[in-house]
Amino acid sequence: MLARLLKQPGLSLKKPMSVTSAKAQLRLGTYQAVEALPTKQQENGAFKLAICAAIAEIHDAIRQEKDDPDYQLSQRKLDDLELRERIANLASTYFGKKIHVNAPCGGNRLIWQLPKGRKLNEYYNAYLGCVPKSITEAAADPIAALIPLDHLKGNRRRRITWLIRDMMTEAIEHFAREAKEYSVANIHNHLTAELNAVNKKRQANDLPQLQTPSQTTLSLHQKELFSTTEAEIRDKGERAAKSKLGRGSTDIRALMIGELTEIDEVHLSLVVTAKVCGLWEKLGDPEKRALEDADKIIKTRLTLLVMLDVATRMPLAWVISDEPRAEATLALLRMATRDKSKEKIRYGCSGLVADAVGLGMVKTDNGPGLRNAAVKSAVLGAGGVSVDVRVYSPTDKPFIERHFGTLESVLLKLLHGYTGRRPGDLPGYDANKSGVLDIDTLYQLLTCFYIDELPSMRHHGFGMWGRRPAEVYEEVYKTREIFEPMDPDLRRIHLCWEEKVIPTSEGVRVFSGIWFNSPELQQAIEDTQGYDRSRQRQVSVYVDPDNLNEATVVLPRTTAPIRVQLQSSVFADMTVNEVLHLVRAYRKEDPAATEIHEDRLAKVRRERRELLDSIGVEKNLARSYQTRAEIKAKARQVFKGARIIASKGVEGAARAGQITAARPDGKIFDFTGGNGIIEGKVVDPGPKPPHAMNKENMTDEDCETIPPKTAKGAGKKRASAKKPQKPSSPAEPPKEIFGRPVNLKRLE
């Protein structure tokens, strides 16, 4: 039964208090341990215990010398000079300090002097009383029986009446209702007013007046009423009390690299300017004004975001942003989950840089760029766990909070433009005039600090014990390894940038000029059971802005994402920003060179046009347009009301635009192939009434050149078709009219 009870949680056995220990507790006045008494009292008790131990040893030696087990020491025997010197020498060995028999003369010093025989006998008897008389009796602490009772000295009675004490309590509780941290002076003024009203009543009843206690008495009474924690809650509230007096962090919260990380953002106490880039004197007034406005924003909104690994205290990522937004936090997560060798090589660092890690548990507070839907969905989609902590509770994420203090004291305080920890911290220093650092230089300094300096500094936090973060990182990496990095496609989908494009045979194009392609993508595009059957033609392309070597494409009606490769080798291992700067540098041109090339192009084009115009005039080429002067002349003729007399046409010639048109007279002409031969059969058109050439189809322009034909002219034409007219010149061949041919066939 007893064994089963002992196994129950919360059950323990307590040793009963012995008689001697009860006497010691009664002597100490409710104190159960000597260690709770003041140090001076404990030292005095150790002095007496050393003397008693020396007397007991000498007493046993005397009994053996005299062969008398009943030999006792008395007050007179302990006053013997030779015995006293013997006791003092042996007690000094036990006590650790010199014990004098007689007080040395001269000088002002603090010494330990051996008491006289009466006191020695008294101490020795008390010491012997602590020795158990039998085996069953427990031994008492001898120092508890020898230690002086200085803590019980003095008058312990209260020197103020119970009425004044109750009024002080009432006044203190009156001001403790609100957490406004009232001073003792406020309480004392209220108490004085209350005592004044009470004294008037007592004076009317012939009673003695009550004296007003001092502020010191009131303060001591207030400390008796409230403990330290209760006073903190009374003055500053429960939240501040938990923050200041809550339990600290004395446990090792993570064992693997990347298992637990903390993210926080801090406004840098630093003035950064953009006027030292070397381009200020080359800018115009609008550009300067725009740069000044941007410079003001940078000075007031510059924010540093840091991600710290709890297991090793190694920085995993750091980002500078003008505004704490979700995009800056996503850039921080991308940096933590990728390789950072590029920053190490770019800035010439030689220290240890953390490898790419997966996202485990990520702690963030309610900062504007940390607690939002974009960051939460990205962390959860990447397989991590997002934990919200309280800003006002430093124990929720103590490691990143302490890191910012180290950063400011080691690095930021040394930089030009440092404004101090609080407003007015540096009254004699003009931070605006001294702010000569640009953002690129500041990021370079921070990168060198996080790679070369911080991992090599000794860390005395709990669990580090003076080791360097680089050493802890290497040890944990060998023993417990690292949190498994993310899949590249999954990382790009949840943490990187998305572009909606339509794929082609060349692949997919993002940012208006960066192409990606792969054989798998072309097969997926032409899949008749997948993307080819989808009505949605746009696909999602996920690109890592820090590395353009590969991208991930998600197609509609396609089960798995497709990895594509960069098609422009000139952009390999570059970031999006570096690509844009490269193309901008290629497109950038000196204004003087631009003017020279534009003048050259204009000159060449003008000379070419003049040459072609001169050739057209010389060869009498028809124009496909009318000049302004010609349009004005024609307008005057049209709107004057004058009748337009058609000009006389050329005998036997067709009008412009009517060569290949079918006409009632059956004539057709084919000039499309040059001097080719047309094979066909001639059909006799038969007798037809004379007529003119489709007059209703004639335009005003045609009427200007071809006069209307009469029946007489038509008869002459028909007669001439039967009988050739006499040629005007001997070289002119006779003209005949043939019927419309059928079954035409072109002979090549």
Among residues 257, 264, 361, 249, which one has the least CA distance to residue 309?
257
Give the pLDDT score at 119.
93
* CA pair distance 498, 508, nearest whole angstrom: 12
DSSP β-bridge partners for residue 111:
none
DSSP SS3 for 694 = coil
CA-to-CA dists, residue 73 to 64, 87, 121, angstroms: 14, 13, 8
Burial class (CB in 10 A: 0-12, 13-18, 19+), 495: buried
Which residues of the chain fall below pLDDT 70?
1-24, 106, 133-139, 248-249, 273-301, 623, 641-748
**Residue 405: what residue type?**
G
- Residue 549 host element (H or E): strand 547-554
User: Which of 27, 55, 41, 59 lies closest to 120, judged by CA?
Assistant: 55
| CA 67 – CA 666 distance, rounded (Å) | 171
d(CA 436, CA 273) in angstroms, rounded, equals 6
Rg (CA), the chain: 54
- In whole angstroms, give the CA distance from residue 139 to residue 369: 66
Torsion, CA 655, CA 661, CA 666, CA 671, rounded to 10: 80
Neighbour-count burial for 69-99, b at 16+ CB within 10 Å, e otherwise? eeeebeeeebeeeebbebbbebbbebbeeeb
How confident is the model at residue 693, as a pLDDT?
46
Give CA separation, 433 vs 195, 430, 436, in Å: 60, 6, 8
Q: Ramachandran region of residue 272, left (φ > 0), alpha (ψ -120 to 50) or beta?
A: beta
Phi, psi of 180 (to 5 degrees): -115, 10
What number of other Cβ atoms are within 10 A of residue 174's Cβ? Answer: 14
CA dihedral 622, 624, 628, 629 (to 10 degrees): 20
Alpha helices in 588-699 (DSSP H): 591-618, 628-639
Q: Tell me if 262 sits within 8 A of 310, measured CB to CB.
A: yes
CA distance 329 to 316: 13
HSE value, Cβ hemisphere, 13 Å, CA-based, for 648: 2
Provide φ and ψ at 423, rounded to 5°.
Answer: -60, 135
Cα 477 from Cα 135, distance rounded (Å): 58
For 327-336, letters b (16+ CB in 10 Å) and e give: ebbbbbbbbb
Ramachandran angles phi, psi of 497, nearest 5°: -90, 145
Residue given tokens 């422009």 in the structure block:
568
Name the pairing type of β-strands 99-100 and 112-113: parallel
3-class SS of residue 239: helix
Backbone angles phi, psi at 294, to 5 degrees: -65, -35
Cβ-Cβ contacts under 8 Å for 55 (sequence gap 6 or more): 73, 78, 87, 120, 123, 124, 127
What sign does the CA torsion over 625, 631, 633, 637 have?
positive
CA-based max dimension of the chain: 187
CA atoms within a 13 Å half-sphere pointing along the CA-CB vector of 657: 6
- Can you tell me which residue has the tokens 């349009």? 631
What backbone torsions phi and psi does residue 226 show, to the nearest 5 degrees?
Answer: -125, 140
Question: Using CA atoms, how far apart are residues 51 and 87, in angstroms rounded to an integer?
Answer: 7
**Strands of the sheet with 562-566, listed across from one edge:** 497-501, 539-544, 547-554, 562-566, 514-517, 508-510
Q: What is the pLDDT of residue 689?
A: 55
3-state helix, strand, coil in the chain (%, to 5): 45, 10, 45
pTM score: 0.67
- Name the 3-class secondary structure at 141: coil
